[in-house]
Amino acid sequence: MNEKELIKKAKSGCVEAFEELISESQKKVFNIALKMMGNYDDANELAQEAFIKAYRSLHKFKGDSLFSTWIYRITTNVCLDELRKRKNKKVISLDQSMEYNGEEVERQIEDEAIGPEKLLEKKETKKVIEEAINSLSVDYKTVIVLRDIQNFSYEQIAKITNCPEGTVKSRLNRARHALKEILKGKKELLDEKFVK
């Protein structure tokens, strides 16, 4: 049965057809949620919520994009909604102002020749970078996860996030810059831990 037929059957309520439709995207959806949320339990719950939402609103899918793209869009939206709902979230972005001696100043970008990754033990790299991604603003986090972890194209990301491609490009550039800054912010701690 091809995708079109499966969609038709799933729209009529057939759970098995829907499950076959999402079989390819399940792992990716879970991993997007995992990187967006930063923990296993939330990822499990929100990835499932994304699929339930997709099942519930299948009638709205008109075939304008690939079915998988539509699912990924729902997934990022579900995660973004949840992240925005949560209070006390850590947000650090390049554009964000910070307080220094009681005055609000623009965040300065520290210039260092040595990349932060060189300071890390390979074993710990993943954990540290995931923590850094987790502390990005939600928009930056989304593009980093979609582009640099999930390897979606700019065009796909534009469709998933419902943003113009130009926005995706500039946002990604700033997001990578911000990510680098966060990792540098961890430098002191990392120095103590890993630099011999």
Partner 1 sequence: MKKCSEIMELIGLYIDNELDADLRAEFDEHIKVCENCKNEYTEQLEIVKLCNSIEEEELPEVFKEQLHEKLLKEKQRKNPLFFIKRRNVRIISSIAAVILIAFIARDFIMRDNYESGIKSESAKSFFSPSTKGADTNDLSLRATTEADNMSGDVSIASGYDFGNELEEIYGALEISEGTSEEKEFDEGTVSIGGIPEDVGNDEQEYLIRENMSKDLRGEYNPLMQIENITASEQDVVSVYMNMKVEDIKKVIDIANNYSIKLDSYIYNDAKAKNLYENYSFSLNVEKHNYNLFIEELKSLFEDIDISKVDGKILINLE
Residues engaged in binding partner 1 (CB under 8 A): 12-16, 18-19, 26-28, 30-31, 34-35, 40, 44, 47-48, 51-52, 55-56, 111-113, 115-118, 125-126, 129-130, 133, 144, 147-149, 151, 154, 169-170, 172-173, 176-177, 179-180, 183
Q: Which is nearer to partner 1, 97 or 170 (CB)?
A: 170
Cβ atoms of residues 50 and 36 within 8 Å:
no
CB of 172 to partner 1, least distance (A): 5
CB of 108 to partner 1, least distance (A): 14
Distance between CA atoms of residues 166 and 154, nearest Å: 9
Q: Calculate helix-pair angle for 40-56, 67-85, nearest 10 degrees.
A: 130
For residue 164, what are the contacts with CB-CB under 8 A and spacing of at least 6?
158
Q: Which is nearer to partner 1, 83 or 129 (CB)?
A: 129
Q: Which is nearer to partner 1, 87 or 122 (CB)?
A: 122
CB of 116 to partner 1, least distance (A): 7
Place of tokens 């630099």: 195
Q: Which is nearer to partner 1, 107 or 169 (CB)?
A: 169
CB of 17 to partner 1, least distance (A): 9
CB of 12 to partner 1, least distance (A): 8
Give the burial string for 35-55 (b: 16+ CB within 10 Å, else e).
Answer: bbbbeeebbeebbebbbeebb
- Termini Cα distance of the chain: 59
